[in-house]
Amino acid sequence: MNEEHRVERSGMQETRKIQKTGGSTYVVSLPKKWIQTSGLRKGDQVALSVTGDGTLTVDPHVPRESEKMVKVIEVTHATDSRTLLRQLVGSYVTGWDVIEIRSKGRITPELRRTIQDFSRRVIGPEVVEESSNLVVLQDVADHADLDMRKVVRRMHLMSKNMLEESVRAVMDLDKGMAEGVISRDDEVDRLHWFVEKQHAMIRRNISFAAKMKTTWLESDSMLLASKAIERIADHATRIARSVGMLGDSRVDGDTMNALEQLGGEASSIMDRSVEALFKRDSELANDCIERTAVLREKADAFLDETMKRRGRVAVGLAFVIESIERTGGYSSDIAEIAINLAEGQ
């Protein structure tokens, strides 16, 4: 039996009635205009993907597992390492599967070292072909098995640890601990670039979102949160570098206690903001935003008192206080992302 077909319009959305043919087959017709715009004809295939929120997406472009997206970067004798590195990172985070670095002449040893350093700093790309004027990097990671939500959680734990250890390094004037914090910043960058790449892959091919059991909205939220966490790690690194500015100058106990409390509050707000994000808890997120406002007031008052000291110690402590305050600000950003995700689900 073939039930009558009906189309209803509600704003910009078309509503179509499910038809049943035979005993167990359900059919939905596709809009003629969309068929024409997509260049489809009778007999063509389309890709159907079910996203994490249950939405069914119809893609006119059927992805082929064996089809690789190739980005070609042309280098010359005038190309420097910093320029090439920016191009490599840009190609990686925008979702290219294969990156070919080509030159009309020989690729210089300096640029080869840049390519090798890049492949060690990111997740996935490895050198699969190399000659005097060509280097080919191919992403060999199985991105569907690497959950971006787990990556963001890992970034959070690393950044939180970096923040707490950087404040402790300032309090104890522990240069070794400070150097340990600084050395971990590249790993947080590495994870953030990976989240960026996965987000780009989802944007280019919605079927990848289905494999990841996520949605565009969640992917957008994870990307924004990842960026905020990466900035928190940057500020933890900045705090750690302040140890060198303080030298061997000991600071009084009251100042150190105030610094410890301020850093502890920033760490707590970060924790709760990330918790709100993954629980999609608007109430908890709003509490984090309110706590951040109080943190800013305390930090501003602390900074005013610190700058009365003058000299190298005052400057070093000012850097620390400002970075702790900025950490609270980025945590507040995560809380706002959590609210948007909760209200948008």
Residue 303 sits in a domain whose CATH number is: 1.20.58.220
Question: Has residue 262 been placed in a domain?
Answer: yes
Last residue of a domain, one of 113, 139, 165: 139
Note whether 30 and 87 are same-domain residues. Answer: no
**Domain assignment of residue 154, yes or no:** yes
Indicate whether 2 belongs to any domain. Answer: no
Check residue 102 and give its pLDDT: 97
Say whether both 158 and 275 belong to one domain: yes
Residue 87 lies in a domain: yes
Say how many domains are in the chain: 3
Amino acid in the structure at residue 47: A
Task: State whether 99 and 228 are in the same domain.
Answer: no
Q: Are residues 201 and 294 in the same domain?
A: yes
CA distance 323 to 327: 6
- Both 99 and 158 in one domain: the answer is no
The two most distant CA atoms of the chain are separated, in Å, by 87
129 close to 102: Cβ distance less than 8 angstroms: no
Instruction: Give CA–CA dist 188/173, Å, rounded.
Output: 24
Whether residues 264 and 303 share a domain: the answer is: yes
Residue 339 CB coordination number (10 Å) = 20
pLDDT at residue number 51 = 54
Last-in-domain residue among 17, 38, 59: 59
Q: Per-residue pLDDT for the chain (345 aa), expressed as one digit of tens each?
A: 344 444 444 445 677 777 766 656 677 788 877 776 766 777 766 766 555 555 777 776 655 545 688 999 999 988 999 999 999 999 999 999 999 999 999 999 999 999 999 999 999 999 999 999 999 999 998 877 788 999 999 999 999 999 999 999 999 999 999 999 999 999 999 999 999 999 998 888 777 787 788 888 899 999 999 999 999 999 999 999 999 888 777 777 888 899 999 999 999 999 999 999 999 999 999 999 999 999 999 999 999 988 887 778 888 899 999 999 999 999 999 999 999 999 986
* Secondary structure (H, E, C), 127-173: EEEEECCEEEEEECCCHHHCCHHHHHHHHHHHHHHHHHHHHHHHHHC
- Per-residue pLDDT, 8: 44
Residue 286 lies in a domain: yes
Q: What CATH number corresponds to the domain at position 38?
A: 2.10.260
Clarify whether residues 289 and 332 are in a common domain: yes
* Structural domain of 74: 70-139
DSSP letter for each residue of 51-90: -TTS-EEEESS---TT---EEEEEE-TT--HHHHHHHHHH
Q: Are residues 190 and 281 in the same domain?
A: yes
- The amino acid sitting at 261 is Q
Same domain, 199 and 319: yes
Are 173 and 211 part of one and the same domain? yes
Beta-ladder partners of 47: 59
Record the tokens describing residue 204, joined without a space.
């280019």
Q: How many residues does the chain have?
A: 345
The pLDDT value given to residue 28: 78
Terminal-to-terminal C-alpha distance of the chain: 37
Residues 212 and 340 in one domain: yes
For residues 197 and 298, state if they share a domain.
Answer: yes
Distance CA 232, CA 264 (A): 14
Would you say residue 64 lies in a domain? no
> What pLDDT score was predicted for residue 22?
61
Would you give the DSSP letter of residue 1?
-
Structure tokens at 271: 């924790």
Would you state the structure tokens that stand for residue 279, as one six-digit string?
Answer: 């629980």
- Can you give the CATH number for the domain in which 112 is found? 3.30.110.20
Q: Residue 7's pLDDT is what?
A: 43
Tokens 């900035």 locate to 231
Q: Do the beta carbons of residue 237 and residue 178 sit within 8 Å?
A: no
Cα–Cα separations (whole angstroms), residue 23 to 2, 18, 27, 192: 11, 14, 12, 50
287 with 265: CB under 8 angstroms? no
Domain end residue (candidates: 121, 139, 157): 139
